Amino acid sequence: MATKKYFLLTFAVCVSFMTAAQNQSKRQYFRHLKYNHVSPYVKLAGIYPISEAEASTTSHYVFNYNKKNQLVLITNNHYFTERRHPLASIGAYKTVFTYQDHKETRIFLDKNGNRVSNDRGVFKEVFTLNKKGNYTKLDFFDLEDNPMESNWNISKYYWTKHKKMVIEKRVNLNNEPKSLSTYFNFGTTGMTFKKDGTPLGNYNLNNNLEVANNEVGIASYQDEYDGFGNHVKYSYHDKSNNLMNNANGFAVGVKIYDSIGNYIGQQIFDADAKLLRKRDIANNQYIKLSDIASKEDSLEIKRISLGYLKALQELKPELMKEVMNDSLNKVTVGFNRALRKEVVSAIPRKRMIENAKNWNKSNTKFPPQSNNQVKILDVYHRIATIKLLSDNWVEYLHLIKLDGKWSIINLLWQHKNIKRYPF
C-alpha cells in the first residue's frame, strides 16, 4: 500500500513538474545564490546575473519563472567548491516550486528526475503565505507526505510580525521548542531586514519578546552585504549591542570575494578588533598548477620517508611518531585462510610505534648495511607521492603537509619476494 501511495505521489509530482515547465515564461542565469545563514524565511535569490552563453562555460544556477513571475524551478549547475550549509545551499539538482491556496511547495529532484532530500535533509517543504505574500509557516515532509524533522531536528517553523521584527519559533515532531540550529543556542528569535529582504540582524528573545543574552552572553548576530549581494561581514553582540566573542572565540568575520563573487578569503577578529587569523578559502574556481617543490620541501619529504625505515632499523619510536600522521593508513596484500582469498591487511600507527621499539631488537631484520632508496614521484603543493625501496619491501607513500610539517598518511607496501603471495 505504501509503495502504491509513493508511486501515485511520484506520478503527481512528475505531472506538476511538467506542467510547471510548460508554463515557464522567463529564465535567468546566476553565478551564485545569495548567502543566507539566518532562516528559511529568507527568500531564495540569485546574484551576479550572467547570459546563457556565459552560463554554458561556468558554474551557475538557472532560475525559471512562470507568467505570474513566480519562481517555479531552480536548476543547480553550481560545481564550484563552497561550504555547504542547510540554509545557504540547496543540495539537489532541481528544486521544483508549485503554488496553490496560499501554499508554496518545494520538492527536490536528482538529475534522473528522482525525488531526493535537500541540504536540510527533508523531501518536501510546504510554506504557508499570508495575503501579503510573506511566509507564516514551514512544514517538512518525507517521501510519503508524513511530517518529518530536518537534520537540525526541526519539524515546523512559525513566523509572525512584531513591531519591526519577524518573530521565528521552531518545534520538533513532539511540538517541543527547538534552538536556531544544532550548534547555536538561540530560542525564539527576532529578525530584521532591509526593504529588499536582505537580512540585517537575528536576535535572541525572551518570553516577553525582548532581546536577551543566551548562556554565553550572545544576544544577536548581525550581517552586512555589499551592493552585489555578497555576504561580507557577520558579527556577534550582547543585548546592549556591544561586540562579544562567541563560543568559538571570535566576534567578527570578514569575507573577501573576487570580482565575480567567488568567496576567496576570510579574516577573523575578536571583540577588541584584534585580528585573530586570516586565510585563503580553498576553491576550484581557477585552475592553477602548483609551483615546483622547493629544495627544503624535497629534502624534508625524503627525510620523513626514510625516517620510517630508520625508525624500524635503529629502534627509534619517537622518530616513528614524528613521521607517521595520526590518520596513517598502512596496508598490504594478505591471504585469509578462512576465506581462502587475498585481502587487504592493515597496520595502525600505534602498532608501527610499538614495532619501532622492538621489531628489530635482534638486529637481524635488515643487512648490516641497509640499502634504502627514496624517489619522489610527484609533489603538488601540500601532497606528495613517494616510491621507497629497501632490502625487504617496495612501498608507495603519500605524504601530506599540515601546519608546515610533512608526515606519512598513506603507505602501500609489498615484500620484494613476490613468491610469498599466492597466485
Domain boundaries, the chain: 2-280, 295-420
Locate cell 545564490: which residue?
A: 33
| CA separation for the pair 410, 46 (Å, rounded) | 42
Quote the distance between the C-alpha of residue 247 and its chain's center. 20
d(Cα 54, Cα 61) in Å, to the nearest integer?
Answer: 12
pLDDT along the chain (423 residues), means of 10: 50 52 78 94 96 94 96 92 78 95 96 94 97 95 97 97 96 97 94 95 96 95 96 97 95 95 94 95 72 90 96 95 96 87 92 94 87 93 94 95 96 82 49
Beta strand 405-415 with 324-336 is: parallel
- What span, in angstroms and rounded, lies between the C-alpha atoms of 420 and 349? 24
Q: How far apart are CA 423 and CA 418, in angstroms?
A: 10
Element of type H or E holding 210: none
Instruction: Report d(CA 139, CA 128) in Å as an integer.
Output: 9
Cβ neighbors of 375 (< 8 A, separation 6 or more) are: 386, 387, 388, 389
pLDDT of residue 292: 82
Angle between helices 295-313 and 349-358 (to 10 degrees): 60
Please answer whether residues 283 and 81 qualify as being in contact, where contact means their C-beta atoms are separated by less than 8 angstroms. yes
In degrees and rounded to multiples of 5, residue 320 shows phi and psi of: -65, -40
CA dihedral 256, 229, 99, 201 (to 10 degrees): 80
CATH architecture of residue range(s) 295-420: Roll (3.10)
Residues recorded for the chain: 423
What is the model's pLDDT at position 423? 40
Consecutive H or E run containing 349: helix 349-358
Predicted pLDDT at 290: 72
The DSSP element (H or E) to which 299 belongs, if any, is helix 295-313
Distances (CA, A) of 371 to 107, 251, 368, 374, 388: 63, 56, 9, 10, 11
CB-CB contact of 109 with 94 (8 Å): yes
Q: Provide CB contacts within 8 A for 343, sequence distance 6+.
A: 333, 334, 335, 336
User: Is the pTM here over 0.95, yes or no?
Assistant: no
